[in-house]
Amino acid sequence: ENDYGLTIASALKQITYENGIEISTQAFYSPQILDFHPIIKNLANYEERRQKLVVKRRLLAERDDEAAALALKRLENLQTMGDVPFDALLIADGGKTLQSIAALLPYYDIDPKKIRILGTGHWDMSRIGSEPALVGGWFAAPSREGRREFMSQYERVYGKKPPRLATLAYDATALAAVFAQREKSNEPETKRYLYELKELSASQGFRGLDGIFRFLPGGFVERGLSIFQVGDRNDKIISKAPQKFINHVD
């Protein structure tokens, strides 16, 4: 329940509409919240599904025949009856919050083997697969190939790993340096470096440490992202980041 969450919700609404996909439910929470039980329980429609199982067991027990006994036996290890009202779940968060949420999914009978768990760039962190419920999940994030050398060099120079957003600062500085070389005035006393907006918003975009990117007319940045699948130890790329933009921006 913050600007990031609302932005993700808006983007999700637009892309699902364009692709004929229905958003069955959404859940927002305060960034300061510590107890996610009520939110996940409600998201899973747990009480209704639990009650459905209780009623089914009672009806079978009342029948008192062999077929009912076998059916009752099959229900022994179930927590609920019936499916959750969605095929995929997007969790737009990371860090400890993501781990807390993910741990509660199987607790409230949201089966990650049946439901595709999806994430954003917040999932781009080491050992995310240490939480079993996230294994097999998909998330979109910049390719890691371009920034590996930068991270190694940074660590050699400063003795510590760079903040995740350091690549953005590096790309911004590098881009500014490129444009600064295009001198538009020959007057030494008024030496200025200028560039036009159309150069910054060129459809072909630019290549940075996190892959290709370009500036859109509305003030947003579009990036070419990879899609990763979470593994027990390492994530694997299931869709490589594009090397160029194929569509033009007006």
The predicted structure's pLDDT at residue 190:
47
Dump pLDDT digits (tens) for 155-167. 999 999 998 889 9
Mean pLDDT of 60-77: 87
Sign of CA dihedral 35, 38, 43, 48: positive
Cα torsion 121, 125, 129, 132: sign: negative
**What share of the chain has pLDDT > 90, as a percent?**
59
The pLDDT score that the predictor gives to residue 62 is 87
Q: Which residue has the tokens 């995310």?
A: 128
Paired with 223 in beta bridges are 213
Cβ atoms 88, 22 nearer than 8 A = no
Q: How confident is the model at residue 57 (pLDDT cuts 50, 70, 90)?
A: confident
CB burial of 182-206 (b: ≥16 within 10 Å; e: otherwise) equals: eeeeeeeeeeeeeeeeeeeeeeebe
What share of the chain in percent tops pLDDT 70?
93
pLDDT at residue 78 in the model? 86
- Say whether pLDDT at 229 is over 70: yes
The predicted model gives 128-156 an average pLDDT of 91
Per-residue confidence at 140, pLDDT binned at 50, 70, 90? very high
Is residue 112 a contact partner of residue 88, using CB atoms and an 8 Å limit?
no
Where does the pLDDT of residue 234 fall: very low under 50, low under 70, confident under 90, or very high at 90 and above?
A: confident
39-55 pLDDT, tens digit per residue, is 999 999 999 999 999 99
Tell me the longest C-alpha to C-alpha distance in the chain. Answer: 100
Average pLDDT over residues 231-244: 91
Considering only 28-32, 80-84, 181-185, which range has the smallest mean pLDDT? 181-185
pLDDT of residue 14: 93
Q: What is the mean pLDDT of residues 165-176?
A: 91
Check residue 196 and give its pLDDT. Answer: 67
